[in-house]
Protein backbone atom coordinates (compact mmCIF):
# COMPACT_ATOMS: atom_id res chain seq x y z
CA UNK A 1 0.00 0.00 0.00
CA UNK A 2 2.95 2.32 0.61
CA UNK A 3 4.00 1.97 -3.04
CA UNK A 4 0.52 2.83 -4.25
CA UNK A 5 -0.11 5.78 -1.95
CA UNK A 6 3.41 7.08 -2.63
CA UNK A 7 2.86 6.88 -6.37
CA UNK A 8 -0.50 8.63 -6.13
CA UNK A 9 1.05 11.43 -4.07
CA UNK A 10 3.65 11.97 -6.82
CA UNK A 11 1.10 12.16 -9.63
CA UNK A 12 -1.99 14.26 -10.03
CA UNK A 13 -4.16 11.26 -10.86
CA UNK A 14 -3.80 7.70 -12.11
CA UNK A 15 -5.80 4.68 -13.22
CA UNK A 16 -5.38 1.23 -11.70
CA UNK A 17 -3.60 0.12 -14.88
CA UNK A 18 -1.07 2.94 -14.66
CA UNK A 19 -0.50 2.32 -10.94
CA UNK A 20 0.03 -1.35 -11.75
CA UNK A 21 2.62 -0.63 -14.45
CA UNK A 22 4.51 1.96 -12.45
CA UNK A 23 4.65 0.04 -9.15
CA UNK A 24 5.17 -3.46 -10.55
CA UNK A 25 2.10 -5.01 -8.94
CA UNK A 26 -0.84 -6.73 -10.60
CA UNK A 27 -3.78 -4.67 -11.82
CA UNK A 28 -6.23 -6.49 -9.54
CA UNK A 29 -4.03 -5.86 -6.49
CA UNK A 30 -3.72 -2.20 -7.45
CA UNK A 31 -7.51 -1.96 -7.77
CA UNK A 32 -8.04 -3.52 -4.34
CA UNK A 33 -5.61 -1.15 -2.63
CA UNK A 34 -6.99 1.86 -4.50
CA UNK A 35 -10.53 0.89 -3.44
CA UNK A 36 -9.30 0.60 0.14
CA UNK A 37 -7.71 4.06 0.01
CA UNK A 38 -11.03 5.43 -1.25
CA UNK A 39 -12.96 3.58 1.49
CA UNK A 40 -10.81 5.07 4.26
CA UNK A 41 -11.04 8.55 2.76
CA UNK A 42 -7.41 9.00 1.71
CA UNK A 43 -8.17 8.95 -2.02
CA UNK A 44 -11.09 9.71 -4.30
CA UNK A 45 -12.17 8.04 -7.52
CA UNK A 46 -13.84 9.72 -10.46
CA UNK A 47 -15.08 8.18 -13.68
CA UNK A 48 -13.38 9.23 -16.90
CA UNK A 49 -15.51 8.71 -19.99
CA UNK A 50 -13.53 8.15 -23.16
CA UNK A 51 -14.82 8.25 -26.70
CA UNK A 52 -15.47 4.51 -26.95
CA UNK A 53 -15.62 1.72 -24.40
CA UNK A 54 -16.07 1.53 -20.67
CA UNK A 55 -15.41 4.46 -18.40
CA UNK A 56 -12.22 4.24 -16.34
CA UNK A 57 -11.83 5.07 -12.68
CA UNK A 58 -9.25 7.76 -12.11
CA UNK A 59 -7.82 7.95 -8.60
CA UNK A 60 -6.18 10.82 -6.76
CA UNK A 61 -5.14 11.43 -3.20
CA UNK A 62 -7.32 13.71 -1.09
CA UNK A 63 -5.81 17.18 -0.90
CA UNK A 64 -4.51 18.21 2.47
CA UNK A 65 -3.23 14.74 3.33
CA UNK A 66 0.22 14.86 4.87
CA UNK A 67 2.98 12.28 4.29
CA UNK A 68 3.20 9.66 6.99
CA UNK A 69 -0.35 10.07 8.26
On whether residue 67 sits in a domain, the answer given is no
CATH of the domain at 8: 1.10.10.10
Could you read off the pLDDT of 4-51 as tens digits, one per residue?
Answer: 999 999 998 999 999 999 999 999 999 999 999 999 999 999 998 877
Specify if 31 maps to a domain.
Answer: yes
The percentage of the chain sitting over the pLDDT mark of 90, rounded to a whole number, equals 70
Question: Is there a domain that residue 66 lies in?
Answer: no
When divided into structural domains, the chain yields a total of 1
> Residue 33: inside a domain, yes or no?
yes
- SS3 string, the chain, reads CHHHHHHHHHCCCECHHHHHHHHCCCHHHHHHHHHHHHHCCCEEEEEECCCCCCCEEEEEECCCCCCCC
- Asked whether the predicted pLDDT for residue 68 surpasses 50, the reply is no
User: Model-level pTM?
Assistant: 0.82
Residue 36, domain extent: 2-61
Amino acid sequence: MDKISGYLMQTQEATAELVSKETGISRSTARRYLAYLVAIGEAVADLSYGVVGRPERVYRMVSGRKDGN
